[in-house]
Structure 1
Amino acid sequence: MTMKQVDPGVEVAVPVLDSANLPNDLNSAVKLSQPTDEDMSVVASLRASSDPWKSRGETQEESLQALTQLRPFLHVAKLQGQAVGYVTVERDGPVPGAAYMRNIVVRQDLRKQGLGMVLLNHGVQTARDMYRKTIALRVDPANGPAVSFYRKAGFTTVATVVSKKSGKLRLLMSREL
């Protein structure tokens, strides 16, 4: 088990999963739920160790603060009882009338195994449950794998926008539900 420090004096256990023994059907093996207090520390660690937050130098404490504000929209994916990713879906976002998928984050050692698609599909269903007919997201155009992932899932680019936080260009993508 690896320990990661979240706050001074507070450590979070990050269990090691045997990726060779992952179930073939992640759709049925992954359980999605609202985060517990314990989950919040783990997902903050996932966020802080993932780009773009990692490259911005965001600390785990800053990630925890940001995710605490997003907690009502946060859905945590658990595999074998361990938090392995999350998706945030808000009722309103930059496209009027569309749900907004703010983030999909997958634990680094579990990427490219279908977990991102499980999270995306859950985000789409969450938007449908909000009675939205469209879901939108922003993505860095330099993040080729993410752009390709969203395009394969049926998203199209509707605009190029400037991020308020970073000042960098982002693709605004959407998909009909």
Structure 2
Amino acid sequence: MTMKQVDPGTEVSAMPVLDPSSLPNDLNSAVKVANPTDEDMSVLASLRANSDPWKSRGESQEESLKALTQLRPFTHVARVQNQLVGYITVERDGPVPGAAYMRNIVVRPDLRKHGLGTVLLNHAIQTARDMYRKTIALRVDPANGPAVSFYRKAGFTTVATVVSKKSGKLRLLMSREL
């Protein structure tokens, strides 16, 4: 596996090149979602460490790997043309009683705004249904306008404003009936 130096002392796995223009028109059938393999974990850690909010918090790849290892039972990776393009984590229980909880949805930065987030969100919704949940919930930074808009377009509504235990910052608690 190729490694590239990002910050002194921090090794990050290089993401394979996938040209956004080569993405298939029908992403729903092209995206394959599965549980992560052992080999996927370092790539996921790199993806997480280089995506907000973790990047802005200064989370290292090692810290990302530790967090993702704990979330592994709830993690689903998405591949297009055998290349990892994103992941979601969906837990049976979360901050809204009786609702599934989507903790993370991450798409490779170079492949955003091509519909992959929608495919991952639809998979998260189906996963919640498979857990016999009638609602799915998530938390999002209210300052992240594109994410808030994305969730609202997908039918999520804000049910509360909460304070993040990790950052102490306000988060919108959003949910959607399934």
Q: Structure 1's 61 and 156: CA in aligned 2 closer, same or farther, altered over 3 A?
A: same
Offset, 1:12: 2.7
TM-score, structure 1 as length reference: 0.95
Letter in 1 for 2:89: T
Q: CA RMSD in A?
A: 1.7
- Number of matched pairs: 176
1:87, 1:123 within 8 Å by CA — same for their partners in 2?
yes
Structure 2 residue runs without a partner (length 5+): none
Offset, 1:20: 1.4
- 2:73 aligns with 72
1:74, 1:88 within 8 Å by CA — same for their partners in 2?
yes
- 2:3 aligns with 3
2:93, 2:100 within 8 Å by CA — same for their partners in 1?
yes
- 1:137 aligns with 138
Offset, 1:21: 1.5
Offset, 1:2: 6.6
- 1:84 aligns with 85
Q: Which of structure 1's runs of 4+ aligned residues deviate more than 4 A?
A: 8-11
Q: Structure 1's 10 and 109: CA in aligned 2 closer, same or farther, altered over 3 A?
A: closer
The sequence identity of aligned pairs, in percent, is 85
Letter in 2 for 1:83: L
Letter in 2 for 1:153: A
- 2:101 aligns with 100
- 1:18 aligns with 19
TM-score, structure 2 as length reference: 0.94
Structure 1 residue runs without a partner (length 5+): none
